[in-house]
Structure 1
Amino acid sequence: MTKQFNQLVPYERIEGHNIPCRRKSLSTSCGMNIRMDEDDETSLRGCCSWCRQRFFTKEKLKRRFPIVTWLLKYSLLDLRGDLIAGLSVAFTIIPQGLALAILAGLPAQYGLYTSFIGLFVYALFGTVKDVAFGPTSILAILIAPFVVMGGTTYAILLSFYTGLLMLILGMMNLGFVVDFVSFPVLSSFSTAAAITIACSQMKSFFGIHLTAVRFLPTVVGLLTHLHEINLWDTFLGVVCLAFLIPLQHFRTSSFFFLEGRVAPHSMSLRIFSKIWNLIVTARNAVVVIICGVIAAHTNVFTINTDIKLGLPPMQIPTFSYGFNETYRSPTQVIGDLAPGILVMALVGLLETVAVANAFMPNKKLDATQELIALGIGNILGSFFSAFPATGSFSRSAVNHNSGVRTPLSGIITGSLVILALATLAPYFKFIPKPALASIIIAAVLPMVKFQDILTIWRANRIDVVPYFITLLSCLFIGLEYGIGLGVTFSLLVLLYLMARPRISIVMRKTPCGDVFLYVKPDRSVLFPSVEYMKVKISKAIDSYGCSTKHLSIVIDGEHMFRADSTFAMSVRHMVDHYRDSGFITVFYNLRKAPYRALDVVFLDSEDFIYCEDEEKVYQAIRAGIVKSGISNQSDERDSHPLKRRKSSHWLTSSVEY
Structure 2
Amino acid sequence: MSLSSVKRLGKRVIDYPEETVPVASVTEWVGNLINNPVQRAKRYLLSLFPIITWIGRYNVGWLTGDVIAGLTVGMVVVPQGMSYAQIATLAPEYGLYSSFVGVLIYCFFATSKDVSIGPVAVMSLTVSQVIKYVQQHHPNQYTGPVIATALAFICGFIVLGIGLLRLGWLVEFISAPAVSGFMTGSAISIAAGQVPGLMGITGFDTRAATYKVIINTLKGLPRTKLDAAFGLTGLFFLYAIRYTCLTLERRFPRRARVFFFISVLRNAFVILILTIAAWLYCRHRKVGGKYPIKILLTVPSGFKHVKQPTVNSNILSALAPKLPVATIILLLEHIAISKSFGRLNGYKIDPNQELIAIGVTNTVGSCFGAYPATGSFSRSALKSKSGVRTPLAGVITAIVVIVALYGLTSAFFWIPTAGLSAIIIHAVADLVASPAQVYSYWRVSPLEFLIWVAAVLVTVFSSIENGIYTSIAASLALLLIRVARPRGSFLGKVTIRSSDSDTQREVFVSLTKDNVTNPHVKVVPPSPGVLVYRFEESYLYPNVSITNSVLVDYVKANLRRGKDMSNVKLRDRPWNDPGPSRHGGEADQAVNERKPILHAIVLDFSSVSHIDTTAVQTLIDTRTEVEKWADHPVEFHFAPILSPWIRRALVAGGFGIGISSSRTTPDFAAVVPHDGRSFKETEIDRDDDPESGDIKKDSDVSVSEFEPVVPVDTPFFHIDLAAAVRAAESGVKHGRS
Contact map agreement 2:637 2:728 (CA 8 A) in 1:
no
Distance in 1, Cα, partners of 2:211 & 2:237: 29
Distance in 2, Cα, partners of 1:397 & 1:527: 43
Out of 491-500 and 109-118, give the one that drifted further: 491-500
Aligned to 1:544: 558
Match for residue 574 of structure 1 among 622, 644, 661: 622
One-letter amino acid of the structure 2 residue matched with residue 224 of structure 1: K
Structure 1 position 290 matched with structure 2 position 290: no
Corresponding residue SS for 1:556: strand
Corresponding residue SS for 1:584: coil
Aligned to 1:556: 603
Q: How does 1:76-225 map to 2 (within 5 A)?
A: 76-150=60-134, 151-209=144-202, 210-213=204-207, 214-225=209-220
Match for residue 544 of structure 2 among 530, 538, 541: 530
Distance in 1, Cα, partners of 2:34 & 2:95: 49
Contact map agreement 2:249 2:260 (CA 8 A) in 1:
no
One-letter amino acid of the structure 2 residue matched with residue 551 of structure 1: L
Distance in 2, Cα, partners of 1:242 & 1:426: 27
Residue 85 of structure 1 and its aligned partner are, at CA, apart by: 1.8
One-letter amino acid of the structure 1 residue matched with residue 412 of structure 2: F
Distance in 2, Cα, partners of 1:204 & 1:440: 11
Aligned to 2:357: 373
Aligned to 2:487: 502
Aligned to 1:421: 405
1:196-250: CA deviations, max 9, x gaps? 11111111111112333141231232133233211x2222222111211133345
Aligned to 1:587: 636
Structure 1 position 383 matched with structure 2 position 367: yes
Match for residue 229 of structure 1 among 224, 227, 230: 224
Contact map agreement 1:505 1:517 (CA 8 A) in 2:
yes
Match for residue 415 of structure 2 among 394, 417, 431: 431
Contact map agreement 1:588 1:611 (CA 8 A) in 2:
no
Q: CA 1:649/1:116 → structure 2, altered by over 3 Å: closer, same or farther?
A: closer
Aligned to 1:620: none
One-letter amino acid of the structure 1 residue matched with residue 180 of structure 2: S
Q: CA 1:610/1:531 → structure 2, altered by over 3 Å: closer, same or farther?
A: farther
Corresponding residue SS for 1:378: helix
Distance in 2, Cα, partners of 1:31 & 1:256: 59
Corresponding residue SS for 1:297: helix
Corresponding residue SS for 2:663: helix
Out of 524-533 and 144-153, give the one that drifted further: 144-153
Out of 302-311 and 415-424, give the one that drifted further: 302-311
Q: CA 1:512/1:54 → structure 2, altered by over 3 Å: closer, same or farther?
A: closer
Distance in 2, Cα, partners of 1:540 & 1:523: 19
Out of 557-566 and 408-417, give the one that drifted further: 557-566
Distance in 1, Cα, partners of 2:637 & 2:337: 47
Match for residue 40 of structure 2 among 40, 51, 54: 54
Distance in 1, Cα, partners of 2:172 & 2:153: 25
Distance in 2, Cα, partners of 1:286 & 1:53: 53
Corresponding residue SS for 2:375: strand
Q: How does 1:439-454 map to 2 (within 5 A)?
A: 439-448=423-432, 449-454=434-439
- Which residues of structure 2 form unaligned runs of 5+? 1-29, 135-143, 283-291, 494-523, 564-596, 666-687, 694-724, 731-737
Contact map agreement 1:586 1:611 (CA 8 A) in 2:
no
Residue 575 of structure 1 and its aligned partner are, at CA, apart by: 2.4
Distance in 2, Cα, partners of 1:341 & 1:205: 27
Residue 441 of structure 1 and its aligned partner are, at CA, apart by: 0.9
Corresponding residue SS for 1:116: helix
Distance in 2, Cα, partners of 1:331 & 1:251: 48
Residue 110 of structure 1 and its aligned partner are, at CA, apart by: 0.9
One-letter amino acid of the structure 1 residue matched with residue 279 of structure 2: A
One-letter amino acid of the structure 2 residue matched with residue 419 of structure 1: V
1:412-433: CA deviations, max 9, x gaps? 1112212211222233231111
One-letter amino acid of the structure 1 residue matched with residue 341 of structure 2: A
Corresponding residue SS for 1:430: coil
Residue 307 of structure 1 and its aligned partner are, at CA, apart by: 3.7
Aligned to 1:479: 464
1:431-465: CA deviations, max 9, x gaps? 11110011111112122223222111112222222
One-letter amino acid of the structure 2 residue matched with residue 190 of structure 1: M
Residue 578 of structure 1 and its aligned partner are, at CA, apart by: 3.5
Contact map agreement 1:507 1:516 (CA 8 A) in 2:
no
Contact map agreement 1:568 1:601 (CA 8 A) in 2:
yes
Q: CA 1:125/1:611 → structure 2, altered by over 3 Å: closer, same or farther?
A: farther
One-letter amino acid of the structure 2 residue matched with residue 55 of structure 1: A
Distance in 2, Cα, partners of 1:247 & 1:511: 66
TM-score w.r.t. the length of structure 2 is 0.69
RMSD, aligned α-carbons? 3.5
Corresponding residue SS for 1:587: strand
1:487-515: CA deviations, max 9, x gaps? 2212222222222333333699x999862
Contact map agreement 1:311 1:418 (CA 8 A) in 2:
no
- Look at both structures and tell me which one has the larger radius of gyration over its CA atoms: 2
Contact map agreement 1:511 1:649 (CA 8 A) in 2:
no
Residue 373 of structure 1 and its aligned partner are, at CA, apart by: 0.9
Distance in 2, Cα, partners of 1:358 & 1:565: 38
Distance in 2, Cα, partners of 1:256 & 1:408: 31
Aligned to 1:634: none
One-letter amino acid of the structure 2 residue matched with residue 490 of structure 1: S
Distance in 2, Cα, partners of 1:177 & 1:589: 33
1:125-156: CA deviations, max 9, x gaps? 11222222111112112222112234222211
Corresponding residue SS for 1:505: strand
Q: CA 1:403/1:99 → structure 2, altered by over 3 Å: closer, same or farther?
A: same
Distance in 2, Cα, partners of 1:574 & 1:173: 39
- Which residues of structure 1 form unaligned runs of 5+? 1-29, 36-49, 321-327, 618-639, 652-657
1:77-117: CA deviations, max 9, x gaps? 32222222222111111100010000111111111011111
One-letter amino acid of the structure 1 residue matched with residue 651 of structure 2: D
Contact map agreement 1:66 1:126 (CA 8 A) in 2:
yes
Aligned to 1:246: 240
Q: CA 1:294/1:614 → structure 2, altered by over 3 Å: closer, same or farther?
A: farther
Aligned to 1:629: none
Residue 583 of structure 1 and its aligned partner are, at CA, apart by: 4.5
Distance in 1, Cα, partners of 2:414 & 2:57: 44
1:172-214: CA deviations, max 9, x gaps? 1122233222121122122112111111111111111233314
Aligned to 2:670: none
Residue 255 of structure 1 and its aligned partner are, at CA, apart by: 6.6
Q: CA 1:108/1:68 → structure 2, altered by over 3 Å: closer, same or farther?
A: same
Return the structure number with greater relative CO, CA threshold 8 A, min gap 6: 2
Q: CA 1:334/1:612 → structure 2, altered by over 3 Å: closer, same or farther?
A: farther
Contact map agreement 2:623 2:634 (CA 8 A) in 1:
yes
Corresponding residue SS for 1:128: coil
Contact map agreement 1:519 1:553 (CA 8 A) in 2:
no
One-letter amino acid of the structure 2 residue matched with residue 280 of structure 1: S
Contact map agreement 2:114 2:338 (CA 8 A) in 1:
no
TM-score w.r.t. the length of structure 1 is 0.77
Match for residue 342 of structure 2 among 341, 346, 357: 357
